[in-house]
Amino acid sequence: QKEVEQNSGPLSVPEGAIASLNCTYSDRGSQSFFWYRQYSGKSPELIMSIYSNGDKEDGRFTAQLNKASQYVSLLIRDSQPSDSATYLCASEAQAGTALIFGKGTTLSVSS
Amino acid sequence: EAQVTQNPRYLITVTGKKLTVTCSQNMNHEYMSWYRQDPGLGLRQIYYSMNVEVTDKGDVPEGYKVSRKEKRNFPLILESPSPNQTSLYFCASSILAANNEQFFGPGTRLTVL
């Protein structure tokens, strides 16, 4: 069974701090990885995708991928209360037919 | 406005009463998928479709049916709902495949009594 594992949290950080969210995946053949954000009662929305080893930056968000360790992370710099949400890590499975989602990490940013 | 719509948004029904949850997208996307989200279990794929008339099972297809007769629509059918199908359901679409950005509908909260 292919899996994506995340700590459920909650992860609590003060406003302005760096939030670090991590996930591991079991399918060594996965090539594409995604971070979705889900506010309470809302649908998931994509915030970052990453396909190759290393870092990818987009504004306050940095995704990191290490395929050898099967590890994906998301850093949120200068965290804001509006970043409080559940963050879902996902990996591609079965040649683009599916995403395997982790159970999500809840982030709480206090002002 | 580019969007994925689902109807109904909320539904309470009884065991065994057939129901359909509709999903429609206006982005001309090839790929569509249905997920259910349950506390402690996360998002799990029910069925997906790579194109018109092409559908396949996801991780949890038991008790569900789908069809893809037109590119924009991907209805989810519960022929005989049971209480274990009480869940939050999301439809999603992407331009070609699951590994492109998926756009999610607003969700349908289903309760089966």
B100-B62-B36-B94 Cα dihedral, nearest 10 degrees: 20
In 10 A of CB A54, how many CB atoms? Answer: 10
- pLDDT one-digit tens code per residue, A17-32: 999 999 999 999 899 9
Two structure tokens written together for B64: 């569900």
Phi then psi for B84, rounded to 5 degrees?
A: -75, 0
Q: What is the mean pLDDT of residues B78-105?
A: 95
Q: What is the mean pLDDT of residues B24-49?
A: 96
Closest to A104 in 3D by CA, of A51, A40, A14: A40
Q: Which residue has the tokens 């890590």?
A: A89
- pLDDT one-digit tens code per residue, B52-88: 999 999 999 999 999 999 999 999 999 999 999 999 9
Phi then psi for B85, rounded to 5 degrees?
A: -95, 5
pLDDT band, very low/low/confident/very high, at B99 (cuts 50, 70, 90): confident
Nearest-CB residue to B42 (from A31, A97, A104): A104
Whether B105 and A98 lie within 8 Å, measured CB to CB = no
pLDDT band, very low/low/confident/very high, at A12 (cuts 50, 70, 90): very high
- Kindly list the residues from chain A whose CB atom is less than 8 angstroms away from the CB atom of residue B56: 97
Listed in sequence order, the DSSP H helices in A1-111 are: none
pLDDT band, very low/low/confident/very high, at B48 (cuts 50, 70, 90): very high
pLDDT of residue A111: 92
Mean pLDDT, rounded, of chain B = 96
- pLDDT one-digit tens code per residue, A51-63: 999 999 999 999 9
**Optimal mutation site among B99, B104, B108, interface A, most CBs of chain A within 10 A:** B99
Distance from CA of B10 to the nearest CA of A (A): 12
